[in-house]
Each structure stands twice: as C-alpha cells, then as structure tokens.
Amino acid sequence: MKISVIGIGKVGSTVAFVLAKDGLATELVLYNRTREIARADAIDIQQAVAFVPHRVRVRDGAIEDTAGSDVIILCVGVRVTGDSSDRNEWATGNTALMKELVPQLVAMSPSAIIINVTNPLDVITYHVLSISGFPWQRVIGTGTLIDSARFREMLSEQVGIHPIDLNAYILGEHGNSAFAALSIARSGGEPIDATPSRQRMIEEAKQSAWEVFRTKGYTNYAVAMAVQMIVHSIVEDLRYTMPVSVLIEDYCGVSDVCLSVPCVIGRQGVHMRLRPQLSAEEESLFQKSAASVRRVIEHTRPIIVGDAGQ
C-alpha cells in the first residue's frame, strides 16, 4: 500500500506519523513545497518506526515520486493564523492550490483514492472531485467525522457510555452550519433523547476546535485520527460506517454539493452512501448546510474553470 501525504505542516506531519506508526502503508511519500521540511520529517518518522513491528519505507519526494499511490491525502493549504474565525476565508487560496496540484497528482496515480483534509473541507472536496474527474466514490473529505467524535466524547460523559458505543452523528457542513442528527441517535438500540443540554453540546463540539486553533494556531491530533480511521477501513476493507464528506445526490432535496452523511468505507473508497431518515427540522438544517457550502463553491468556481476576474 503506497500512500502519499501532500503538505507536511502540523497536520500532514501528524497524519504521516500516525499512518507509519500503525503500519497502514508499506511506502509513505511526503510531499511539501519546501522539500527540506518533508525530508526532515521523513527521516524522523523512519527512525521512529524502528520502535514498532512494521516495515514501512518513509521518504520525501517530488510530485513524480507519488506515482502509483493507492491513497493520496491532501493536507496542503495556504498559511493561516490563529486569528482566523471562518474556514471559508481560506477558500480562494486553497482552491487555487488544488487547481495546481490535483491534475499532477491524478496523472501520476489515476487509480488512487483521495482523502481531503484541506479547508473549507466540503468546498475543497467538491473542487477536488471536479478537477480530478474521479468517480465520486474515490474522493472523500474527512468532513464531520471529527465533529462527531468531539460530540460523542461530550455525550459520553453525560450518559456514562463509551463514545464508541454511541451511534450519534453530526452531519452537513464541516463548519458553522453542522448539526447533530439526534432523531437517529442510538445507543444499544435505545434512542438518545434530544434534551436541551445535548443541543448545547452540539455548539460546544463545533466551537471546541476553534478554541484549540486560536491557542495553538492549528489542530492536528483529532484530524490525524480521523484520517487514520478512514485509511484503516480502506486498507483492510473493513467497511466501517462513518460520516464523511462526499458528493450528495438527491438526498433531503439536495444534490451536486459535498456534505457529510454516513458512508461505508472500504477498499474501493465509498461502498455505500447511506440515507438515514431525518426529522423535518434536520432536513431543513441539511438544506441550509448545502446552501452555505454552495455559495462558496460558486464564489470559487471561476478559479477552477479559468475565468477568474473576467
């Protein structure tokens, strides 16, 4: 299994380390615009995996060295600061980066599965899908997998049940319009009631990442574990169900936009895109998420089609 990580900043570096530590790749290629950074990380990670029972070749490389990748993980992005308060502020710069990089990457690895981590997550996932020409099943954004994990961790403390045993999803945009689909939340088959305190947890879960970001200037550990879960399900064909950002087609009255819904992930990418029956209120929130993401897609689309400024 050859995996290429594109963009070796705080997030890409952590993602690469987690994948190498867990033996999810036989070959791991690190690409960065400043190659010296990728080279230093490759050396450091290669030395670190001497402590684990896996054989992994970790190396830096140019775009050409990513050729034949089974999985490509996009962590590249414009430089941001902890003062930013809206992922959409990065849309223009990161869309331009994808227009430059994605055609080269897919030419080198036409059969790869692409996992996008770059924000604004749903907008960039949509543009990557458009640029790549890949089937929608092979372009996956980490989406609300991270938000759902944060929500489950908070909910776990209240109900006294391990987060893994809580079947509760945050859906829609990985951003301000995300919402918890509490109408379908279950634990052991029992519904999880949508109490006022649990509704407040939704906002706390959404804001917790910004608190970390404002202090550290980035978030990396939860993101890396989300990527690890997706890659593990791909490599071992585990068919885990998780909320990830994919192309939506005729769900809750929404089409032609990338948002997070529960998906079954395996060796070929998305094996199934599930369609849970949401409440009327949740359907409306899903539609609002779609409208929010679509506005940014339309704003940045001229960068992709080449008529920006015309």
pLDDT score recorded for residue 305:
86
Share of residues in the chain with pLDDT > 90 (%): 82
Q: Are 163 and 152 in contact (CB under 8 A)?
A: yes
Q: Which CATH superfamily is domain 2-141 in?
A: NAD(P)-binding Rossmann-like Domain (3.40.50.720)
pLDDT digits (tens, 9 = 90+) for 151-174: 999 999 989 999 999 999 999 999
243 three-class SS: strand
- 290's CB contacts (< 8 A; 6+ apart) are 172, 248, 254, 257, 259
Residue 245 β-bridge partners: 141, 260
Please confirm whether the linkage preceding 196 is cis (ω < 30° from 0).
no
What's the whole-number average pLDDT of the chain?
Answer: 93
The mean per-residue pLDDT over the stretch 283-308 comes to 92
pLDDT score recorded for residue 308:
44
* Interior/surface letters 223-234, b for 16+ CB within 10 angstroms, e for the rest: bbbbbbbbbebb
For residue 83, pLDDT beyond 60: no
Q: Which residues are catalytic?
A: 174
Q: Are 181 and 282 in contact (CB under 8 A)?
A: yes
Q: Say which range, 8-12, 123-127, 212-216, 265-269, has the weakest mean pLDDT.
A: 212-216
For residue 302, pLDDT beyond 90: yes
pLDDT digits (tens, 9 = 90+) for 218-263: 888 999 999 999 999 999 999 999 999 999 999 999 999 999 999 9
Rounded to the nearest 10°, the torsion over CA 137, 133, 131, 120 is -10
pLDDT score recorded for residue 212:
81
Q: Using CA atoms, how far apart are residues 290 and 282, in angstroms rounded to an integer? A: 12
Note the pTM of the prediction, 2 decimals: 0.94
pLDDT digits (tens, 9 = 90+) for 170-191: 999 998 899 999 999 999 999 9
pLDDT score recorded for residue 78:
86
pLDDT digits (tens, 9 = 90+) for 17-39: 999 999 999 999 999 999 999 99
* Domain ranges within the chain, ordered by starting residue: 2-141, 145-300
Q: In one letter, which amino acid is 247?
A: L
pLDDT score recorded for residue 80:
66
Name the DSSP class of 8.
-
Q: Using CA atoms, how far apart are residues 173 and 167, in angstroms rounded to an integer? A: 19
Nearest to 225 by CA among 298, 301, 152: 152
Which residue's entry shows tokens 């080198």? 108
Q: In one letter, which amino acid is 30?
A: L
Alpha helices per DSSP H over the chain: 10-21, 35-48, 91-108, 121-132, 145-159, 196-216, 221-235, 280-305
pLDDT score recorded for residue 182:
93
Confidence of residue 309 (pLDDT cuts 50, 70, 90): very low
- 185's CB contacts (< 8 A; 6+ apart) are 166, 167, 168, 169, 191, 192, 194
For residue 265, pLDDT beyond 70: yes
For residue 108, pLDDT beyond 80: yes
Fold of the CATH domain 145-300: L-2-Hydroxyisocaproate Dehydrogenase; Chain A, domain 2 (3.90.110)
Q: Using CA atoms, how far apart are residues 33 and 38, in angstroms rounded to an integer? A: 8
For residue 82, pLDDT beyond 60: no
Q: Angle, to 10 degrees, between the axis of helix 10-21 and the axis of helix 35-48?
A: 30
Please give the structure tokens belonging to residue 186.
Answer: 């279950």
Q: Are 168 and 182 in contact (CB under 8 A)?
A: yes
